[in-house]
Amino acid sequence: MVATFVTKVGHIATISLNDQRTVTVDWYTTFCVSKVITELRKINAERRIILHQDNASSHTAKKTRQYLTEGNVELLDHIPYSPDLSPNDFFTFPKIKNRLRGQRFQSPEEAVDAFKNAVLDLPANEWNKCFENWFERMQMCINLQ
């Protein structure tokens, strides 16, 4: 299991959940969101951070929302049951699955490393296209109410 974070110019972070544990609010806020906020602030401390995440319970928990508010991170809500509106679901994971198809890995760590490398190999213009597609998908949902 990995959590991956991207912007329209590329990969920010991929964090693996070691030992096949359950995703919890504490893991998500402490290991994922805090790392991403730190990385984004390094890139541009002045720019506002808007985070889009799906409706997983660790993402929607009160503690997570409070953590994001305290970190001055805006949250872009996600429509329930709408994988077509998550860039990871319609772009990142299918793209990476195609690149890794047929490969065998000796350990979970090796698989995560291959995933990270495949994500890092995607050129910036691919990420830009992904986000353009995402905005078009959101507009279609708005238009269809």
Give 38-78 pLDDT, tens digit per residue.
Answer: 888 888 788 888 888 888 888 889 999 999 999 889 988 78
Structure tokens at 126: 């691919």
Displacement of CA 27 from its chain's centroid (Å): 15
Number of domains in the chain: 1
Confidence of residue 20 (pLDDT cuts 50, 70, 90): low
Cα gap 10→114, rounded to integer Å:
17
Predicted local distance difference test score (pLDDT) of residue 47: 83
List the one residue out of 119, 109, 93, 123 whose CA is nearest residue 12.
Answer: 119
Cα gap 109→120, rounded to integer Å:
16
Of residues 112 and 21, the one with the higher pLDDT is 112
Looking up residue 46, the CATH number of its domain turns out to be 3.30.420.10
Cα gap 141→84, rounded to integer Å:
10
User: 6 is in which domain, residue-wise?
Assistant: 2-143
- Can you give the pTM of this predicted structure? 0.76
Q: How many CB atoms lie within 10 A of CB 70?
A: 8
Coil/strand/helix, residue 117: helix
Cα gap 61→56, rounded to integer Å:
9
